Amino acid sequence: MVNLDKNFIYGVVICLAFAIPSWMLGNAFPIIGGPIIAIILGMIISLLWNDKGEISTGINFTSKYILQTAIVFLGFGLNLNVIVATGLQSLPIIIGTILIALIVTIIMKRLMNMDYNTAVLVGVGSSICGGSAIAAAAPVIGADDEEVAQSISIIFFFNVLAAIIFPMLGKMLGFSTTNGEAFGIFSGTAINDTSSVTAAAATWDNMWGLGTQTLDKAVTVKLTRTLSIIPITLILSLLQARNTKNEGESFSLRNAFPMFIAYFIIASIITTIAISFGADANLFMPLKELSKFFIVMAMLAIGLNSDIIKLVKTGGKPLILGATCWIAITAVSLFSQHLMGLW
């Protein structure tokens, strides 16, 4: 239950206030995009404003729930048949990227003699969906708050790099600029967290005037990938149960499944039914535009929550693991798309 006190409201209003100029600058400079401007602005402000006190409740709400609301709104205007087709199209790439990340994690953990919990959290976060996967896996393996915070920081660092670098990389690699399919699948499979997936995809749309083509594709691919939380968490639970001789106690399907995915699907079902009864697809455009602004607002909040200096000082082995996973996932995603003739 959200406590709507003045500190919470101040936190949300601060995110809103800085998101507006970020949105305007993103429209003025589409090659950079509002989401990336918001992330960088938030990170700069965070360096100058370390102790946010109780205002952080509103900032945390914005980074999590406003982003999830944005994803749900994207579901409006998406035909359910298109979502299923996109999920099936990207499934081989998703499986490949998850497997390579887990293999790299196992190898690097042994080579660097890493702590088990941190290695698992970074590996799961890299392979599936960043913070959501880490949050689902942490109670299963008994990770403490410091391990969770460090792992999320590692994933966040490479998410920000991807959101900034990938649009330029996509242009260098010759991804199609007339539709968002190739870059949407690339960002949806090669970037860890939903926030940075949406940031990179929105930037690509802005760069080439594609509306929400790339964003629609990327979010659908990313949410398909996010479903992997359930089997991965179940496997970790069974491994933990075997180690503790207390089988199955840690796993909770309800906690493992991100409910905003269900709401996204419901939104797409509403759209599919409405269009089948003759509704104009443009009816849902205001919600999709609001979704894009909410993404900018959430990016600002995520930037405000970052602590880059602490990450660099304490990262060490986890930072190396995160970098190795990130490079391997990117390579497999590109190679798989090339084999499938998507670019």
CB atoms within 10 A of CB 139: 17
Residue 40, in any domain of the structure: yes
Report yes or no: 288 and 76 within 8 Å, Cβ to Cβ.
yes
Number of domains in the chain: 1
Percent of the chain surpassing pLDDT 90: 32
What pLDDT, in 10s, does the model give residues 134-185? 767 777 787 876 677 678 778 878 888 888 899 999 999 999 999 899 999 9
**Least confident residue range of 42-51, 77-86, 92-101, 129-138:** 129-138
Residue 213, in any domain of the structure: yes
**Least confident residue range of 8-12, 128-132, 198-202, 275-279:** 128-132
Give the distance, in angstroms, between the CA of residue 144 and the centroid of all CA atoms in the same chain: 22
Residue 249, in any domain of the structure: yes
pLDDT at 334: 94
Residue 87 tokens read as 């999920």
Residue 1, in any domain of the structure: no
Residue with tokens 């359930």: 230
Residue 200, in any domain of the structure: yes
DSSP letters along 17-73, please?
A: HHHHHHHHHHHH-TTT-HHHHHHHHHHHHHHH----GGGHHHHHHIIIIIHHHHHHH
Most confident of 137-141, 285-289, 327-331: 327-331
The range of the structural domain enclosing residue 93 comes to 6-339
The half-sphere exposure of 233 on its side-chain side, counting CA atoms within 13 A, is: 28
Residue 197, in any domain of the structure: yes
Which DSSP helix (H) or strand (E) runs through 226? helix 213-226
Read off the DSSP letter of residue 143. Answer: -
Residue 20 pLDDT level (bands cut at 50, 70, 90): very high
What pLDDT, in 10s, does the model give residues 236-269? 777 776 665 554 455 555 555 567 777 878 888 8
